[in-house]
């Protein structure tokens, strides 16, 4: 006979004394069940064919297969303490993706300290595909920095406040400060052979950044729900030459809707960088970097994002779900004479147990990763730039 069944026939006062220990025991069991330590990771490979000039050999070979990344993850919880870390290795460089220690005050409130995702815009991503959307390449999607973040949920509300003392740092690579996962304003040097193509010296780094994000979810019952949100970000740009502080800020509005098998993402954001450069240094652009390869970015601009996906459950051997999507994003640059940038990714995600495969047709105009003009595409761009395409299959095993 269970403890609960022995309590049933007792009087109310005795029953209450019996129920309280039961509740405490249940709470302790629930807390113990949440304690865990998981070590995992992923191995990802790419197949790709590129359309643009300079990639003739790639097309003649009918594309290429290359190592994408290997990563290790550690996630754990001990009572109210939280732990999460991830390190990634690419071909020729590596970096910390994130790493933080957290404290859960309750199931609705937690504090995180370390390198973690910046609360800005659509979370966790402003896109459905493997290439992300243009905000990622500007530093406003899936961005990670070093600081302190408070996350609180109350009913349909999600509130996040953060202070970042620095960006996430640069790790192993050949660049001056771009061996990192997410894009930040970084210094570059023409003395570095791998950065000579930028034809500039920049000495700005992000510091003392404040972020605030609020989101409200409207329930539509069995159909799904719509999240509406607003974000703000402001921080300093320290120039290592002038030893003065510049300014950077951004603001965004977003919508994230789940409607049965459909998901809709909409976002509009505006950003501005005002670096404290030495006299005579052009401030119409800053240099941003990630993946060990920096490029120029227009100092001011407005970005629009629109994406839609449709998921279909299937039972084809190990394949359990297909998700079809189309993501479009557009950067309108404020500087006269700077050409705008476009990106569109049409594709599908194939889910088969621990294997996730993205099949993408990624097209871009004045997009650094989708065309021959890598260093200047998001700044000056080319007035006669063509739409270029990369067909890409990324297969990843997650363990």
Is position 26 within any domain? no
Residue 257 CA to residue 69 CA, distance in Å, equals: 31
Is position 264 within any domain? yes
Cβ-contact 247, 208 below 8 angstroms? no
Is position 249 within any domain? yes
Is position 81 within any domain? yes
Question: In this structure, what CATH number is given to the domain that contains residue 76?
Answer: 2.40.160.10
Cβ-contact 259, 147 below 8 angstroms? no
Residue 58 CA to residue 64 CA, distance in Å, equals: 6
DSSP 44-99: EEEEEEE-STT-HHHHHTT-EEEEEEEEEEEEEEETTEEEEEEEEE-SS-EEEEEE
Is position 368 within any domain? yes
Is position 226 within any domain? yes
Strands (E), the chain: 36-50, 64-78, 81-89, 94-106, 109-117, 144-154, 157-167, 184-185, 204-219, 224-239, 245-259, 262-274, 285-289, 295-298, 300-316, 319-333, 341-352, 355-365, 388-398
The C-alpha angle 60, 65, 69, rounded to 5 degrees, equals 150
Structural domain boundaries, residue 80:
38-398
Residue 342 CA to residue 329 CA, distance in Å, equals: 6
Per-residue pLDDT of the chain (399 residues; tens, 9 = 90+): 444 333 333 222 333 333 344 444 454 445 445 899 999 999 999 999 999 989 999 989 999 999 999 999 999 999 999 999 999 999 999 999 999 999 999 999 999 999 999 999 999 999 999 999 999 999 999 999 999 999 999 999 999 999 999 999 999 999 999 999 999 999 999 999 999 999 999 999 999 999 999 999 999 999 999 999 999 999 999 999 999 999 999 999 999 999 999 999 999 999 999 999 999 899 999 999 999 999 999 999 999 999 999 999 999 999 999 999 999 999 999 999 999 999 999 999 999 999 999 999 999 999 999 999 999 999 999 999 999 999 999 999 999
Is position 13 within any domain? no
Is position 267 within any domain? yes
Give the number of domains in the chain. 1
Cβ-contact 248, 236 below 8 angstroms? yes
């Amino acid at each position: 006979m269970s403890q609960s069944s022995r309590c049933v026939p007792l009087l109310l006062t005795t029953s209450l004394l019996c129920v309280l220990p039961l509740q405490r025991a249940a709470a302790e069991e629930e807390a113990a069940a949440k304690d865990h330590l998981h070590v995992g990771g992923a191995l990802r490979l790419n197949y790709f064919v590129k359309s643009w000039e300079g990639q003739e050999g790639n097309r003649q070979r009918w594309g290429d297969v290359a190592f994408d990344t290997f990563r290790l993850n550690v996630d754990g919880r001990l009572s109210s303490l939280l732990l999460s870390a991830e390190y990634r290795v690419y071909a020729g460089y590596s970096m910390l993706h994130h790493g933080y220690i957290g404290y859960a005050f309750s199931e609705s409130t937690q504090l995180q300290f370390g390198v973690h995702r910046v609360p800005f815009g659509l979370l966790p991503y402003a896109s459905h595909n493997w290439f992300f959307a243009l905000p990622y390449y500007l530093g406003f999607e899936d961005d990670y920095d070093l600081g302190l973040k408070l996350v609180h949920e109350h009913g349909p509300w999600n509130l996040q406040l953060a202070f970042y003392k620095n960006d996430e740092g640069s790790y192993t690579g050949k660049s001056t400060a771009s061996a990192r996962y997410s894009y930040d304003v970084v210094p570059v040097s023409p003395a570095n052979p791998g950065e000579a193509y930028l034809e500039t010296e920049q000495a700005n780094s992000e510091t003392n950044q404040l972020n605030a994000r609020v989101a409200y979810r409207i329930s539509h019952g069995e159909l799904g729900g719509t999240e509406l949100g607003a974000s703000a970000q402001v921080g300093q740009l320290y120039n290592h030459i002038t030893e003065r502080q510049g300014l950077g800020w951004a603001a965004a509005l977003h919508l994230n809707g789940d409607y049965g098998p459909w998901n809709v993402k909409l976002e509009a954001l505006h950003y501005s960088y005002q670096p404290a450069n030495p006299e005579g240094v052009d401030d119409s652009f800053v240099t941003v970097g990630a993946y060990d390869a920096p490029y120029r970015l227009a100092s001011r601009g407005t970005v629009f994002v629109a994406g839609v996906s449709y998921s279909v459950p299937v039972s084809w051997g190990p394949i359990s779900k297909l998700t079809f999507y189309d993501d479009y994003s557009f950067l309108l640059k404020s500087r006269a004479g700077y050409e705008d940038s476009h990106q569109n990714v049409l594709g599908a995600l194939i889910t088969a147990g621990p294997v996730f495969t993205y099949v993408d047709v990624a097209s871009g105009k004045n997009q650094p990763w989708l065309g021959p003009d890598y260093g200047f595409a998001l700044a000056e761009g080319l007035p006669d730039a063509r739409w270029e395409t990369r067909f890409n299959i990324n297969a990843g095993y997650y363990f």
